[in-house]
Structure 1
Amino acid sequence: MKIYKIFLALLVVCMVPSCDYLDVVPDERPTEEDAFKNVYSAENYLYSCYSYIPTPRSGTSSLDFFTADEVVTAFEHETFANFPKGNFTASNPVISYWNTLFKGIRQCYLLIEGVDATPGLSEQAKVNYKAEAKFLIAYYHFLLARNYGPTIIVESVPDVNMAYSDFPSRAHFDDVIEFVVNKFDEAAQDLPLNYSASTAYGRATRVAAAALKARALLLAASPLFNGGGETQSSFYTNFTDKEGNSLISSTYDPQKWQRAAEATKYAIDMAEDNGHELYTYNTSLGDTYPEDPFERDLRYTIIDRFSKEVLWADTRREGYYDLQNKSTPFIQGRAWNGIAPTLTMVEAFYTENGLPIDKDPAFDYDNRYSIATGDNGTTMKLNLNREPRFNAWVAFHNGYYEIIRDVGGETVERIKTQFRRDDNCGIKGRSNNYSPTGYLNKKGVHPKLEQPSLVVPSQQYPWPVIRLADLYLMYAEALIEYGGAGEFASAKQYIDRVRSRAGIPSVDDAWEPIGGANSREVLRDIVRQERTIEFYLENQRFWDLRRWMIAEPYFGTQAKGMNIQGENDLEFFQVQEVPFQRNFRSPAFYLMPIPQGEINKNEKLVQNPGY
């Protein structure tokens, strides 16, 4: 039997001495005798159903991690880099979840059909296992819809011997979302609100089902799948199956936003009633950098393994070539200094006054690229007087990177980062392992990380799939899109919850001096910029720009940064294009291509437009 090794960082490394959760995963086609012969086998089979979830923070093969315009990396030779380059086709999709997700769906249905036959398994466990399988069926269909748009709805175990003439066709996108919503609701009836055993962390809960149902409805309400929204025309007016049936609505329906708002508010209430809250620093972790309390809260939001903000997490262990080792200041063979925020992302963060840099009268926007003196030496004006999220998550020239390092035989807990050619974070003579923009990512890197040798990062934590701040901004976005003054006021309250934790003024306090924030257009820009900042490098922007139908000018544009070959300040602080290919072909790239081999197998399938 084929064995897959999948590890839970939170459980195996951080919380308990040992645990077999997701540790052994059987093949997707075992016999029922193997799968349900005893309690242990049934449990392993349940865990195997989770194994088809794409790894969200893979440093080499994640579709949506390093592939938006938030960062450029020194690792353009790796698989993921084909996506920002636009080097993928239906014949060579490079990274495709199509087959994997359908295999996962089939495995879940096999569990539902077979688990009742397990000797010794309690009736409650059987109910719970089947609910988790239904949750995953819903989630896998959601991922298919987000990747490919209208997809095949699978309602039972597919017959592997099915005649070609009986192969299913793609369902209308709205029908897929309705299936997802109903399946999440069905699962939620039997899912626990939470688990008492720490070893069950990462398994499906009722809160997670409600949150992901809301995310699915928000996707369906968004312009890409909702007739282009209020201000645009649909890409998919003529997108039909082979019988002429429409596959994506080309008519805008504002009621989809209202439905998304209602589902999101329901999820928020359930989460808050069950102890979820925005993260604040856990003082039991002891004194640590960053010193600023807002920056410390933000730096630890996703890396504190006990964070109550996380509603559902992926608990697989981070590897050698994932986020932390790739982001940290260079050490030969141990830390690769190569995840670099783009100038677009740097400029997206607010000023310390909670305003966009081009709207804050107190920020010298026209001279933002000029040299200035900060607390630690010369830097650009652009890097000064910025909001705490910028300082918490981005390392800049003559700023600090909070990390454990040996400096001259002394252990320090932060180092000053400098990015000129021959500096400690500079390119020097390397052709790899450098920052292409003169900035370095800190988000997701633990301040207590030590890197004495090439090892799997010592600080492991679960990766958030969805957290409470996401629900707050989802709710605000939905209210803004369909509502009036009353809804706008409520939307600002939920945006302000996120802003307050980030240490910046409320929307009204920030915008009042420059004309206020009371129209749909202004508030739409605000909530979108808030999402861009808050979920920087959390697998969101790749999808957000697509669902908003504004991806082309961002993903199809060369990234910019500093002159990393500059030997002195005057040479370094010059804005330059990063010489990496960037291409976004519209409207094709708004959806991923179905692998051409699957189109060839099933004559009822139509390919997505543009491929």
Structure 2
Amino acid sequence: MKKNLYLSGLIAIAAMLIAAISACTNFLDIVPDERPIEADAFRDPNAARGMLYSCYAHIPNSRVGASSLDLRTADEITTSFEHAVFARFPRGNYSASDPVISYWNDLYRGIRQCYILLRNIDNVPGISAEDAATYKAEADFLIGFFHFLLIRMYGPIVIADREFDINMPTSNYPVRSPYDVCVDFVVAKMDEAAERLPTVQAADSYGRATSVIALAIKARMLLYAASPLFNGGGAARGSLYEGFKDLDGTELIATTFVANKWNRAAQAALEAIEAAEAAGFRLYQNSGYPTALPSDPIEKDLRLVYIDKVNSREVIWGETRREGVYDHQNNTTPFLTGAQGAAFNGLSPTLMMVESFYTKSGLPIDKDPAFNYADRYKMVAGPNGNTLSLNLEREPRFNAWIAYHNSYYEVTRGTANQVLVRFRRNDNCGIQGRSNNYSPTGYLNKKGVAPELNQSRLQVSVHYPWPVIRLAELYLNYAEALIESGQNLSTAKSYIDRVRVRAGIPTIDQSWAPIGGANTQVLLRAIVRQERTIELYLENHRFWDVRRWMIAEDFLNKQAEGMNIQGVNDQEFFKVTTVPFPRDFTQRNYLMPIPQAEINRNERLVQNPGY
């Protein structure tokens, strides 16, 4: 977009092309100029395909928690890896001059790279018209998707609707467009791409864009745009962005609530659902996956919902880059070190998350008359030893995704296919005096960990695509939009029920009937939000959801709680204890800061409020 940004982008592009294409020229040694790079990148169909793949490489890797903005940075979990880069986000320790994790530059490089592909692809010697048309549709999709990611982080952005002249005078540098204009740009891009993309990709092209993915991103964009943060604070709360204007006085985020935005979001979500179902996507159930555990069939389905890459038709778009040995699965499994292998015991659900899961009756724990909420922190005898009353009589998702004191963690260790986990100070998963590789709350995450993961050595023996979009999200998107529009509440409940029934709990009406039913917009809003918190737990959603709902101060500005992991016996361990990691969230944190270096280059670029 700006000259020095473009030059650094060329170096990044060149590095990716070296990996993607068998080129004989070392691009890093070339004076940055687009002509020799383009000549090699588009010299034949194979090179052009490599150029397309390198456009995809600008998508942030959402499964790599150590450098991810949104995987481990909400209030679902806390980790013992407070030394890692991502941990500065929940602490609020970032600024415009030091954004810590910022995708601004790389996403704009990706957009420019897509425009370079669009400009050159028709002239590639020997390329088929069909391939050229598909590549152009994918590039247009990526341009829209990169804009969506930027909007989600920064709000109103600079719309790159063309390949900018790198030699333009600074007085012509582009400025931020109003938020709603940015949203419409993404929607138009996704509509255009959906008309030209295939419904599904071939097996060897899994992860590339499809028409269903494009419609799903459009639906997500409109859901965000209708949400309180970007829609005047909602019907009952004022906007955070009064006075947020460009230098010429243009309002950058509208400050009045527009009810029809929810109708638009609902229509887009339904369109995406219908396209997905027509393409054969469905909620994952009744798998024949060859693992003995979990023994409960519902818990087994829930554990494998996106791990079973062969049989699952629920994941609409998956992140296909392979997991590293220091990523999700090894980081969350029970502690192991030495000749047997390595696992790091460090992704720990917070007490807030533990309490968010329903009871086995499908009700919140504080609403179920059969659940002893007042004594939930009382020590009781469980199937495998003492545990909290809180951990028993819970819904199948809790048992499938959360490991608690004196419960089993299904993972392969030698001839054993499960580990009985205990979290007191000197136990197998206890802190034992370590400064990291421990559970800060006395719980461990199991979601996203394959039961047959073999940890006989430091490796990742089971790989699967990380879920970027799955059908359950679309159902909940549609339900939320219907609830917020105040219409079709019964239809909204039916789509939430699809997720609930798959999870092994009763429908909303069945669960809530004994306590007065659930038929108001206010109550159903709480239900759909809790359902998202549970179903989409640890899938990169919570970070954005609490922001778009404008409730982040209530959740991200407090320290996590868990058990007393320094306790050496049951009586000491089963005490609610504050995790000693600071947390800070202020109003400015609803949006990410534009890197100050970009503001300095372009004096016409207005910074986000508070930075």
TM-score (norm 1): 0.94
Secondary structure of 2:63's aligned partner: coil
Output the CA distance in 2 between the equivalents of 1:279 and 1:434: 32
1:419 to 423, 427, 430: 423
Show the counterpart of 1:268: 273
Asked if the contact 2:17/2:54 (under 8 Å) is kept, the reply is no
C-alpha distance in structure 2 between counterparts of 1:26 and 1:277, whole Å: 45
2:381 matches 1:369: no
Number of residues of Structure 1 aligned to a counterpart in Structure 2 = 587
What letter matches 1:235 in structure 2?
A: L
- Superposition RMSD in Å: 1.7
Aligned to 2:56: 50
| 3-state SS, counterpart of residue 526 of structure 1 | helix
Deviation of the 1:143 alpha carbon: 0.4
Matches within 5 A, 1:330-479: 330-332=335-337, 334-406=342-414, 411-455=415-459, 457-479=460-482
Partner of 1:492: 493
Q: Deviations over 1:403-436 (max 9, x none)?
A: 0013xxxx11111111111111111121110000
Deviation at 1:377, TM superposition (A): 1.2
- Looking at structure 1, the residues matched to 161 and 319 of structure 2 have their Cα atoms a distance apart, in angstroms, of 26
Asked whether 1:241 is paired with 2:249, we answer: no
Distance 1:6 1:110 in 2: 17
Alignment correspondent of 2:75: 69
- Cα–Cα, structure 1 residues 126 and 596, in superposed 2: closer, same or farther, change >3 Å? same
**Aligned equivalent of 2:217:** 212
C-alpha distance in 2 between matches for 1:279 and 1:537 = 18
* 2:480 corresponds to 1:480: no
Cα distance in 2, alignment partners of residues 288 and 238 from structure 1: 59
The CA distance in 1 between the partners of 2:118 and 2:356, in whole Å, is: 46
Partner Cα separation in structure 2 for residue 342 and residue 474 of structure 1? 25
Aligned pairs (5 A) from 1:94-113: 94-113=100-119
Alpha-carbon distance, 1:6 to partner: 12
In the alignment, the residues of structure 2 paired with residue 479 and residue 592 of structure 1 have an alpha-carbon distance, to the nearest angstrom, of 29
2:151 alignment partner in structure 1: 145
Q: In 2, distance between residues paired with 1:274 and 1:557? A: 43
Give the superposition deviation at 1:512. 1.0
Distance 2:81 2:126 in 1: 50
What are the superposed Cα offsets for residues 503-535 of structure 1, whole Å, 9 maximum, x if unpaired? 001001111111111100000000000000001
Shift of 1:26: 8.5
Deviation of 1:304 (Å): 1.2
Q: What is the aligned-residue identity percentage?
A: 58
Matches within 5 A, 1:170-249: 170-195=176-201, 197-249=202-254
Pairing 1:554-573 to 2, within 5 Å after superposition: 554-573=555-574
Deviation at 1:282, TM superposition (A): 2.8
Between the aligned partners of 2:64 and 2:141, the Cα distance in structure 1 is 23
Provide the C-alpha distance between the structure 1 equivalents of 2:318 and 2:141, rounded to a whole number of angstroms: 14
Map Cα deviations across residues 451-481 of structure 1 (whole Å, 9 max, x no partner). Answer: 12222x1111011111000000000000000
Q: Give the whole-Å Cα distance in 2 for the aligned partners of 1:592 and 1:108.
A: 24
Q: Tell me what 1:35 maps to.
A: 41
SS of 1:373 mapped into structure 2:
strand
Q: Are 1:605 and 2:610 an aligned pair?
A: no
Q: CA deviation at 1:281?
A: 4.2
- Aligned 1:317-332 pairs, distance under 5 A: 317-332=322-337
Q: Which residue pairs with 1:595 in the alignment?
A: 595
| 1:15 aligned partner | none
**Aligned equivalents of 1:454 and 1:392: distance in 2?**
24
Matches within 5 A, 1:74-93: 74-93=80-99
For residues 50 and 368 of structure 2, what CA distance do their matches in structure 1 show?
A: 55
Q: Are positions 1:580 and 2:581 aligned together?
A: yes
Q: Structure 2 CA distance, aligned partners of 1:239 and 1:429?
A: 49
What are the superposed Cα offsets for residues 555-602 of structure 1, whole Å, 9 maximum, x if unpaired? 00010000001111100000000000100011x000000000101111
Change (3 A) 1:94 1:167: same
Distance (whole Å) between structure 2 residues aligned to residue 250 and residue 379 of structure 1:
49
SS of the equivalent of 1:436 reads coil
1:526 match? 527
Structure 1 residues 374 and 521, CA gap change in structure 2 (3 angstroms) = same
CA deviation digits over 1:17-60, x for unaligned, max 9? xx999xxx988956221111001100000000001101101131
Distance, in Å, in 1 between the alignment partners of 2:291 and 2:64 is: 30
Q: Does 1:114 align with 2:120?
A: yes
Contact 2:21/2:47, CA 8 A, preserved across alignment: no
Cα distance between partner residues in 2 of 1:546 and 1:429: 36
Q: Which SS does the other structure have where 1:155 is aligned? A: coil
AA partner of residue 364 (structure 1): N
**Mapped partners of 1:246, 1:521: distance in 2:** 31
| AA aligned opposite 1:251 | T
Q: Distance in 1 between matches of 2:217 and 2:42?
A: 29
TM-score by length of 2: 0.94
1:508 partnered with 2:520: no
The amino acid that maps onto 2:352 is T
User: Any runs of at least 4 consecutive aligned residues in structure 1 with deviations exceeding 6 A, and if so which?
Assistant: 25-28
Cα deviation for residue 168 of structure 1 reads 0.6
**Amino acid across the alignment from 1:527:** V
Sort the Cα spacing of 1:233 and 1:47 in 2 relative to 1 into closer, same or farther, 3 A: same
1:280 to 285, 298, 301: 285
Distance 1:319 1:143 in 2: 24
Equivalent residue for 2:3?
none
| 2:65 aligned counterpart, secondary structure | coil
After TM superposition, give the deviation of residue 172 of structure 1 in Å: 0.4
Q: 1:142 and 1:396, CA in 2 relative to 1: closer, same or farther beyond 3 A? A: same
Q: Which amino acid aligns with 1:533?
A: I
What letter is aligned with 1:380?
L
